[in-house]
A and B are shown apart, each in its own frame.
Chain A
Amino acid sequence: MTSPTTTPTAPRTHMPAKDALAAVHAARDPRDIVITTMTPARDWMLLPQQPLDLVLVPSAMGSAPPLGLGLALAQPTRRVIVCNGDGSMLMNLGALVSIANARPANLVLIVFVNGTYEVTGSQPVPGAGVVDYPALARAAGFESVHAYGSLHEWQSAVRRIIAVPGPTFVALDVEQVHGQPGPKSPGPARERARQFMQALRG
Chain B
Amino acid sequence: MFSSEKIRTLLEQLGVTHVVTVPDSTIGRWQTAIEERGTPRLVRVCREGEAWQVAAGLQLGGATPLVLIQCTGLLESGDAIRNALHDFGLPLFAIIGYRSYLNQDTLPGDTCLVFTEPTLDAWKIDYRLVTRPSQFDDIRPHFVACRDAGKPGAILLAEGKA
- Residues of chain A having any CB pair with chain B under 8 Å: 54, 58-61, 63, 66-75, 92, 94-95, 97-98, 101-102, 189-190, 192-194, 196-197, 200-201
Complex contact B63–A59 (CB within 8 A): no
- Residues of chain B having any CB pair with chain A under 8 Å: 17-18, 20, 41, 43-47, 49-50, 53-63, 65, 79-80, 82-84, 87-90
**Contacts known (A189-B89, A190-B87); A95 close to B50, Cβ less than 8 A:** yes
Complex contact A58–B83 (CB within 8 A): yes
Residues of B close to A97: CB separation below 8 A: 46
Residue of A nearest to B20 (CB): A70
**Contacts known (A70-B57, A193-B89); A61 close to B62, Cβ less than 8 A:** no
**B150 → A minimal CB distance (Å):** 11
Distance, CA A98 to CA B59, complexed state (A): 18
Complex contact A95–B56 (CB within 8 A): no
Distance, CA A66 to CA B58, complexed state (A): 10
Q: List 22 A-B contacts (CB under 8 A).
A: A58-B83, A59-B83, A61-B79, A63-B80, A63-B84, A66-B50, A69-B54, A70-B55, A70-B57, A70-B65, A71-B60, A74-B61, A74-B63, A75-B61, A92-B50, A94-B45, A98-B43, A98-B45, A98-B46, A98-B54, A190-B89, A192-B88
20 further contact pairs, Cβ within 8 A, besides A67-B56, A196-B60, A197-B60: A60-B49, A60-B83, A63-B53, A66-B50, A66-B57, A69-B54, A70-B65, A73-B54, A73-B61, A74-B57, A74-B58, A75-B61, A95-B45, A98-B43, A98-B45, A189-B87, A190-B89, A193-B90, A194-B89, A200-B60
Residue of A nearest to B56 (CB): A67
Residues of A close to B63: CB separation below 8 A: 70, 73-74
Residue of A nearest to B87 (CB): A189
Complex contact A70–B54 (CB within 8 A): yes
**Contacts known (A94-B47, A98-B50, A190-B89); A60 close to B79, Cβ less than 8 A:** yes
Complex contact A74–B82 (CB within 8 A): no
Distance, CA A201 to CA B61, complexed state (A): 9
Residues of B close to A95: CB separation below 8 A: 45-46, 50
Checking B17, B53, B58, B88 against A189 with a beta-carbon cut-off of 8 angstroms, the contacting residue is: B88
Distance, CA A63 to CA B80, complexed state (A): 7
**Contacts known (A70-B55, A71-B57, A190-B87); A201 close to B46, Cβ less than 8 A:** no
